[in-house]
Chain A
């Protein structure tokens, strides 16, 4: 039926002893797409890491490469046209890009799971939700249909779907948007993975439902001590749940910081611009600050710093030389742990 080795279905111990680095580490990852119009460089050297129990928010606009990075980690990138020319994705110290397909398949779903944005199009409309939830157990653990159905009901209870027993044989269209997203979360949680990647999990939902879903996700994360990569463009959601943030622009990380630090003192003009351009509920300003111009076309990323055509502080240096992601320090040189910025003028931006 499937090529998955069912003898290996015994759940692995939660913490494999020999590895004590971060849970997931992405090192110098590059992804490009070969199209008729040329090579689109979607990801250009991304580095980040997540520990168990930690929430990393990846923030960026459309086309910044945040979702492509996640797809590369999951190994669900369309290749071709996609290509990973260089980089490493280390899960518990092992490079997943060098693994055999079969080994990767064992990790996918069982160790690393993903929650997609649009629950309606991610669920199969002609299968019941119970069948789709149970599939995880049948395929990965070789459970019988009956046991899998029982597990599916347990999962639906876990994500607080009312009357789980009665609704397990309903189809996706019979659920509301928030409930469908809960089913997606249940599916990702099924095998108690170590890491969950959530790609815009609440963007399609209303605010009241969004609050419910984010709360549920945070609660389950605490319970299972999972790592969470939250991909979003919503600065409000990030402030609510993240521990640390990576801001992406044109396929690169332009700033990395713990959540409190980033909002208090951004060290990159793009982050500052983003923070200034969102209207606030608790204050009514005059005119909104707007970052001028448009996000760059990935087929021809500007030379030097990709943000330079939109940056109010750009100089000739910015137009020629790509700024490296360097550690940010206090004015007196004291360390700011976890903070990095890819701006030639980060000193002026953070302290100025």
Chain B
């Protein structure tokens, strides 16, 4: 027992070391989450698994924003939960400053969670309606008392409200007294309370009106500079992800299809799924409507309980060939672009990766 707590302290000490800008702060390796499907009432028998996340690897660098996009059911929210250790991974590792957080528990895990915070999608259900704003944000200090001494907590909460652009006098109000945009600001203030290094944002603006979305996005960008934060920004709105992200990963059925810097993904996509996704985004410019390169996919996303063999996108892909059904493409820089000085040379999981600019085509 004594050994264990010593170990915990060592972990906690290791976490206090700051990471230099541009160094990886979070390294995800072959992360998997399978939810078992069971049959029978008394004697439960596993009959299969929903492979929500099936081998995802990426790095998050200090101070950057990594966007993750994909359709509903592709596993992007499960990735968020795994990074927070809210769900236990089936396999794979998440290294935060060299510590594998999927294996941690107890005090060490608590110390990690202080540094990785989350902002949730729906500001209407993620705040307790019976607690005041002061209690909602202040609750974090009850769990991590070392961050703010007891007497100072109220002042600290008011400071946080001010930082996110709310009137500090609103501290005794309840969530229902705020609009959607203001509530999301409260959610952000709660995420900031413990001075985290990483904030995971799961669809933070998708429930908000257009004019309010811009306010919240601007606030998040401002806070990133001010507090030197790293963001993982999960969304299905590709335009917003492009706006805020330094790098973008595209997910399909529990796997990353393509990952690269924002202009690599948006201006030089090489994976057919990314191309289809980008071409489907409506562009707010009627001039562009006639001469846009539209790829309309047929069908729906297959069930993650029974994904297609080989490449998971092949059932909807117009390039699919024999090879795609037998051989699973790996996420790597495609051979034809390797060593070339082009933005198309980024990681893409397709046997027939080919550059096609769908955003600017006209």
Binding site for B on A (CB under 8 A): 61-62, 162, 176-179, 206-212, 214-215, 233-240, 242, 259-260, 263-264, 273-275, 277-282, 284-285, 287-292, 294-295
Contacts and interface: CB of A to CB of B under 8 A. Distances in A.
Nearest to B73: A206
A212 B316 CA distance: 13
B10 interface: no
A199 B262 CA distance: 33
Contact of A239 (B221, B262, B263, B282): B282
B6 interface: no
Given A207-B236, A290-B218, 19 more contacts: A61-B209, A176-B301, A210-B280, A236-B284, A240-B289, A274-B210, A277-B211, A277-B214, A279-B239, A279-B242, A279-B243, A281-B238, A282-B359, A282-B360, A288-B214, A288-B218, A290-B215, A291-B215, A294-B182
B277 A278 contact: no
A263 B285 contact: yes
Contacts of B71: 206-209
Contacts of B243: 279, 284-285, 288
9 contacts: A62-B209, A179-B300, A206-B71, A208-B296, A238-B284, A263-B284, A264-B287, A278-B210, A291-B211
A196 B54 CA distance: 43
Interface in B122-156: none
B172 interface: no
Nearest to A294: B179
B284 A208 contact: no
Given A274-B211, A281-B239, A282-B360, A239 B217 contact: no
Interface of B: 71-72, 179, 181-182, 209-215, 217-218, 221, 236, 238-240, 242-243, 262-263, 266, 276-289, 294, 296-301, 359-360
Nearest to A214: B282
Secondary structure type dominating chain B contacts: helix
A207 B242 CA distance: 15
B285 A290 contact: no
Given A208-B297, A294-B179, A280 B284 contact: yes
Contacts of A207: 71, 236, 238, 277, 280-281
A257 to B, nearest CB: 11
A237 B301 CA distance: 22
Nearest to A277: B214
Given A260-B287, A279-B242, A240 B282 contact: yes
A63 to B, nearest CB: 9
Nearest to A234: B282
Nearest to A270: B211
Nearest to A236: B282
A309 to B, nearest CB: 13
A294 B284 contact: no
B240 A279 contact: yes
Nearest to A275: B284
Contacts of A61: 209-211
Contacts of B211: 61, 273-274, 277, 290-291, 295
B242 A236 contact: no
Contacts of B210: 61, 233, 235, 274, 277-278
A235 B284 contact: yes
A340 to B, nearest CB: 18
A214 to B, nearest CB: 8
Nearest to B276: A208
Contact of B283 (A233, A275, A277, A280): A280
A140 B298 CA distance: 34
Given A278-B239, A285-B243, A236 B209 contact: no
Contact of B286 (A179, A263, A277, A290): A263
A305 B213 CA distance: 23
A292 B219 CA distance: 12
B22 to A, nearest CB: 20
Contacts of B279: 211
Contacts of A210: 280, 282
B296 A211 contact: yes
Contacts of A179: 300
Contact of B289 (A176, A209, A239, A288): A239
A279 B262 CA distance: 14
A346 B262 CA distance: 38
Contacts of A289: 214
Contacts of B301: 176
Contacts of B240: 279
A281 B218 contact: no
Contacts of B288: 239
A281 B236 contact: no
User: Which interface residue of A238, A275, A279, A287 has the most chain B CB atoms within 10 A?
Assistant: A279
Contacts of B266: 281-282
Contacts of B213: 277
Contact of B282 (A237, A279, A292): A237
A240 B214 CA distance: 22
User: Which interface residue of A207, A274, A281 has the most chain B CB atoms within 10 A?
Assistant: A281
Contacts of A260: 286-287
A80 B133 CA distance: 35
Contact of A281 (B276, B278, B296): B278
